[in-house]
Amino acid sequence: MAALSFIIGIIGNIISILVFTSPIKTFRQVVKKKSTENYKSIPYITTLLSTSLWTFYGLVKPGGLLISTVNGAGVVFQFIYVTLFLIYAPKDKKVRTATLVAGLNVGFLGLVIAVTLLALHGSVRLTFVGILCAGLTVGMYASPLSAMRTVIKTESVEYMPFFLSFFLFLNAGIWSAYAVLVKDFYVGVPNAVGFVLGTAQLILYTVYKKKSMSSTDKMEEEGSAHLVKGMIQMRALDEDDEKVAALKNRSLSKGRSLPKPSAIRQYSFQRILKTFSLNPHEIHSNWALEVDVENGEKINHS
């Protein structure tokens, strides 16, 4: 039994490390964008406090080496995350985060350690720290509830990281099994609660991930339809422009191809003008000559 609990504890250490490293992707984006956007600081603050107290619990409890080692690593990771949150959060969130860190991770933690070491002894010390650790672990597992509320409200899983939810679920399950083997009530109860909440988060993620994908596909289809419609309208406009241009060219060509006045009409017009400048005898003689020319004959009337 002891060997099995030790193996389970090692597995629990590995999974817990994965839990602590899962927000790395999130904070890489935070550093890249230089903003925490809508991410919440409460999960990291409560986890920092929880891992700090569990490290202390492992040091106080006989045989609690595996508990203290894994939570000591968690303290390091959570401290880095909280520091990054303080650097890149908007001013109003930065003030609230700094207030919570000062109150919980410095003031409250320092008070618990001081009271435990100075005022309590024996099993009472372990019970006091164990109850606090159990309560904070439930708070750590429940802290993503705010993110779950955001998911339901926005119908988007953007601000609820999947890997964090998945590894919290897995971590709670393995430590629940460890608690049963070593008969540790303080480890078992909060991790059982965490297992239930982790399951709820994964279900929620699955539901709204599908909705998000469906919405994205619908928007893409609508965008494609608008694009095709726009292309058809542009093509119709181009065809209308081509028809107008063709009509203009046809009108110009028609203007150029209009029949020119015949030589006879030009000749008749010139004859009328000339008539006004002749006397009666000249008019008669010239008129007879022109008639003969039009008939193809040339008669000399002189």
Q: CA dist 225 to 84, 212, 216, 221, 236, Å?
A: 44, 20, 14, 6, 16
Any idea which residue has 């020319």 for tokens?
A: 293
* Distant-in-sequence, close-in-space partners of 155: CB < 8 Å, separation ≥ 6: 208, 211, 212, 215
d(Cα 129, Cα 161) in Å, to the nearest integer? Answer: 31
Q: What is the pLDDT along the chain (302 residues), one digit of tens a residue?
A: 678 888 888 998 998 888 788 788 888 988 998 888 878 888 888 889 989 999 999 999 888 888 999 999 999 999 999 999 999 988 888 899 999 999 999 999 999 999 999 988 888 999 999 999 998 888 777 766 777 777 778 777 776 767 777 877 888 899 999 999 888 889 999 899 888 888 888 888 888 877 666 554 454 555 544 454 555 555 555 555 556 555 555 554 554 544 544 444 444 445 544 544 444 444 444 544 444 444 444 444 44
| The pLDDT value given to residue 82 | 94
| The pLDDT value given to residue 238 | 53
d(Cα 69, Cα 16) in Å, to the nearest integer? Answer: 11
pTM: 0.61
3-state secondary structure the chain: CHHHHHHHHHHHHHHHHHHHHCCHHHHHHHHHHCCCCCCCCHHHHHHHHHHHHHHHHHHHCCCCHHHHHHHHHHHHHHHHHHHHHHHHCCHHHHHHHHHHHHHHHHHHHHHHHHHHHHHCCHHHHHHHHHHHHHHHHHHHHHCCHHHHHHHHHHCCCCCCCHHHHHHHHHHHHHHHHHHHHHCCHHHHHHHHHHHHHHHHHHHHHHHHHHHHHHHHHHHHHHHHHHHHHHHHHHHHHHHHHHHHHHHHHHHHHHHHCCCCCCHHHHHHHHHHHHHCCCCHHHHHHHHHHHHHHHCCCCCCCC
Q: Which long-range contacts (CB under 8 A, 24 or more apart) does 57-64 make?
A: 57/126, 57/129, 57/130, 57/133, 57/186, 60/116, 60/125, 60/126, 60/129, 61/126, 61/130
Q: CA dist 23 to 43, 162, 163, Å?
A: 11, 10, 8
